[in-house]
Structure 1
Amino acid sequence: MTTTANTTSMSQLQTTTITREWVEHVAVGGAVLGGGGGGSLEEGIEFGTLAIEYGTPTIVPLSALDASDTVLTVSGVGAPAATESAVNPVDYVRAVDLVVERLADRGTGVDALMTNEMGGFAAVNGLLQSAVTGLPIVDAACNGRAHPTGPMGSMGLSAEETAVQAGVGGDRGAGRHHEVTVEASLQSAASLVRQTADAAGGLVAVARNPVTAEYAGTHAAVEVYDQAEAVGRAVRQSEDGVVLDRVAEALDGDVVVSGTVESYALETTGGFDVGTAVVDGHDLTFWNEYMTLDRDGERLATFPDLITTLDAANGEPISTADLDEGRSVAVVVAPAASLSLGAGMTDPALFEPIEDAVGVPILDYAFPEDY
């Protein structure tokens, strides 16, 4: 491990105490906020637990950093249902190393880490990297929910702006392990990392898009962990009979339907999971995350509104990759206004690929004032 970083006096930072209970609640809440995506909940709990067993990861508010400090985003890129993916914990640290090394060549460093989004894995992504490198994680994310594409998690950076990104992953034994560092336009870099994920079996660990703390404070979703923890507690500490209502209440949302998955179709293509599901007459589309919810031709919710599926009995979140026909689920919806969203959710151009992927109108509903 070769990470070098700028030093910040930890005694000057207000830190979050990270315990096993905190990891479990944030991972569960993150999985709900993942809206069907955001990575595996089981792997997230394992990853977060490994981090606190290894060392002392720290989370600090963005305000604890100097405006000019550099914040590096960590992420996973790929299709959740990919069956040949292989990313080890060390790969997440290695991705950070690669970007740090590239920046060191310019005489600059990294001062803090930030997760890309919320999700079962994404909400705790960064903990191990923090424990290993000593870099704090900031209480922010590129987005306070999960989203399918890299540009959506770019905090409003221009598609033509030069970005530095690194991706690491794949099964070494199968000859599919890849390490790539890309410096290109944001759009090109994101595309190349997505192609690397596809070549590596479906998933890579990523570090990308270093920005100043000042930029993150203006363009990222700030103070995201409290909501994730509150939602996770609602799932884990509520009795079965009221858990769905408690989760909806924590999100300022509603339980739209509770019923049986009547049909379900998923295809993994181009590094994404794309498909449809029907729950008790309610039609869902997804592109990694749920994109739309309709009933009898009426649109009920559209990304970036949160559409998420939970086990109807115990409220445990169910990702789009883990849905099955015949399963009893509840669909909970929360309006975008109830979520902490980054600048990537305000650009209509970033939503155009969704329509191509799922084949239903998105822009008319997500940006009614513009279309």
Structure 2
Amino acid sequence: MGRVLTLEDVTFAVKGGSVFACGGGGWVEHGMELGTLAVTIGRPELVAMDEIHDDAWIATAAAIGAPGGLTDWQMLGADYVKAVQLLQEALGDKVYGLIIGQNGMSSTLNAWLPSALLGTKVVDAVGDIRAHPTGDMGSLGLANSVEPMIQTAAGGNREKHQYIELVTRGATAKVSPILRTASDMSGGFIASCRNPIRASYVRQHAALGGISMALSLGQAIAEAESRGGIAVIDAVCTNTGGQVIATGKVTSNSLKYTNEAFDVGVVTIGTDAGEVRIHVMNEHMAVETGDGQRLATYPDVITTFDMAGKPTSAGKLREGMQVAVFHLPKSRIPLSSSVTDPSVYPHVERTLGIKLADYALL
């Protein structure tokens, strides 16, 4: 059966999740706080999909907003729990377990506190191995479905009276933007629980083993840290089969927060023949050379490391910082139905002004 997650697992989840965060995916401090609370207040349990009955209800625990640190957000661990409670009330049934929409600095741990307090299992499956900007990209292929779904949200800046609780029902593509609007109104970051579906569907459409992948990578990072930043980056490459595709100093970062609760911009690294540009929409979505040659595209894993071996979020990439750009091609990771769904790309392509689907769906 499943295993109880430990304090050591919290560290591994944050370290591994930070690589799969791809420049977004929340905050290290938030992830450590969520995980530590979960394993000290209860006993969150990680369960593989092959241990779960086909008819069990599985929902997605997610955080919605812009993780670049450009807004005055507030989200408490209780908000993740409240979102699950709201969904169970609306569903009229108990949720057996929670998957996450994506790995990330904190999002890998989104299901742990509800598991500790409500008894829902932490399911070892994800909507996307890496972090992404829109809920549709982690929706297991439901983005274009006309089937009504339940989506809930809770959270917000209390001091500014921006706390919101929300229960919505409708087709995923119609209600997902409502939750993102709520995120913006709440201060830029909100907890959600959404799309309760049967385990049989999750088994077919999720990226299975996604939590275990983050834990394994995090352990490899922890074991390499005493040898320095280069050793950490080497350990990441060895563990995943990825490689560093560029190094250099950040020369510009145009990231801006939008009223859709996205951080959007371009980070330029290096100069002249060594220049690369990273297109960002919350996360690193594509890398191009200075003359426009595409080097990496979502759903590839694209991560920036500082020279201490720390994955660095897009909002913290400052001019003059020396960084390495890590690339793990999509062929080396399990892909969910979300990232092979053509309907999830047009909105992101319009926002970034570049093509993604031409590469992603090859």
Do both share a fold (TM > 0.5)? Answer: yes
What is the aligned-residue RMSD (CA, Å)?
1.3
Deviation at 1:251, TM superposition (A): 1.7
Deviation at 1:363, TM superposition (A): 2.3
Query: Matches of 2:332 and 2:203 in 1, distance apart?
Result: 19
2:351 matched to 1:357?
yes
Match of 2:103 among 114, 118, 125: 118
Structure 1 unaligned residues grouped into runs of 5+: 1-13
Query: SS state of the match for residue 334, structure 2?
Result: coil
Query: SS state of the match for residue 317, structure 1?
Result: coil
Residues 244-296 of structure 1 show CA distances to partners (whole Å, capped at 9, x for unaligned) of: 12212222111112221111111111111111111111111010111110113
Deviation at 1:209, TM superposition (A): 0.2
Q: State the one-letter code of the partner of 2:305.
A: L
Match of 2:161 among 133, 150, 175: 175
Q: Residue in 1 aligned with 2:75?
A: 87
Q: 1:31, 1:119 within 8 Å by CA — same for their partners in 2?
A: yes
Query: Matches of 2:266 and 2:145 in 1, distance apart?
Result: 29
Deviation at 1:146, TM superposition (A): 0.9
2:15 matched to 1:28?
yes
Query: SS state of the match for residue 56, structure 1?
Result: coil
Match of 1:248 among 234, 237, 248: 237
Q: 1:145, 1:340 within 8 Å by CA — same for their partners in 2?
A: no
Deviation at 1:341, TM superposition (A): 2.2
Deviation at 1:221, TM superposition (A): 0.8
Residues 95-126 of structure 1 show CA distances to partners (whole Å, capped at 9, x for unaligned) of: 0010000111xxx3311111121001111111
Q: Residue in 2 aligned with 1:290?
A: 284
Normalised TM-score (structure 1)? 0.92
Q: 2:340, 2:360 within 8 Å by CA — same for their partners in 1?
A: no
Q: State the one-letter code of the partner of 1:19.
A: T
Query: Matches of 2:16 and 2:247 in 1, distance apart?
Result: 19
Match of 1:102 among 90, 109, 128: 90
Query: Matches of 2:338 and 2:292 in 1, distance apart?
Result: 28
2:112 matched to 1:127?
yes
Match of 1:227 among 192, 205, 213: 213
Q: State the one-letter code of the partner of 1:200.
A: S
Query: Matches of 1:171 and 1:351 in 2, distance apart?
Result: 31
Q: State the one-letter code of the partner of 2:103.
A: M
Q: Residue in 2 aligned with 1:325?
A: 319
Residues 15-36 of structure 1 show CA distances to partners (whole Å, capped at 9, x for unaligned) of: 2232212111111111101111
Query: SS state of the match for residue 30, structure 2?
Result: helix
Deviation at 1:309, TM superposition (A): 0.6
Residues 146-166 of structure 1 show CA distances to partners (whole Å, capped at 9, x for unaligned) of: 111111111011342211000
Q: 2:124, 2:212 within 8 Å by CA — same for their partners in 1?
A: no
Q: State the one-letter code of the partner of 1:221.
A: A
Query: Matches of 2:114 and 2:76 in 1, distance apart?
Result: 12
Query: SS state of the match for residue 318, structure 1?
Result: coil
Q: More deviation in 242-251 or 204-213?
A: 242-251
| Inter-CA distance 226–110: structure 2 relative to 1 (3 Å threshold) | closer
Q: 2:60, 2:195 within 8 Å by CA — same for their partners in 1?
A: yes
Q: 1:151, 1:159 within 8 Å by CA — same for their partners in 2?
A: no
Residues 294-313 of structure 1 show CA distances to partners (whole Å, capped at 9, x for unaligned) of: 1132110111111111112x
Q: Residue in 2 aligned with 1:9?
A: none
Structure 2 unaligned residues grouped into runs of 5+: none
Q: Residue in 1 aligned with 2:59?
A: 72
Query: SS state of the match for residue 94, structure 1?
Result: helix
Query: Matches of 1:344 and 1:363 in 2, distance apart?
Result: 12
Q: Residue in 2 aligned with 1:209?
A: 195
Q: How does 1:126-145 map onto structure 2 within 5 Å? A: 126-145=111-130
Residues 68-106 of structure 1 show CA distances to partners (whole Å, capped at 9, x for unaligned) of: 1100110000011342211111111000010000111xx
Size of the aligned set, in residue pairs, is 351
Match of 2:180 among 194, 211, 232: 194
Residues 188-239 of structure 1 show CA distances to partners (whole Å, capped at 9, x for unaligned) of: 1101000000100101100000010110000011111222122222322212
Q: State the one-letter code of the partner of 2:106.
A: F
Match of 1:153 among 138, 142, 146: 138
Q: State the one-letter code of the partner of 2:136.
A: P
Query: SS state of the match for residue 339, structure 2?
Result: helix
Q: Residue in 1 aligned with 2:361?
A: 367
Q: Residue in 2 aligned with 1:5?
A: none
2:265 matched to 1:279?
no
Residues 164-188 of structure 1 show CA distances to partners (whole Å, capped at 9, x for unaligned) of: 0001111222111110000011111
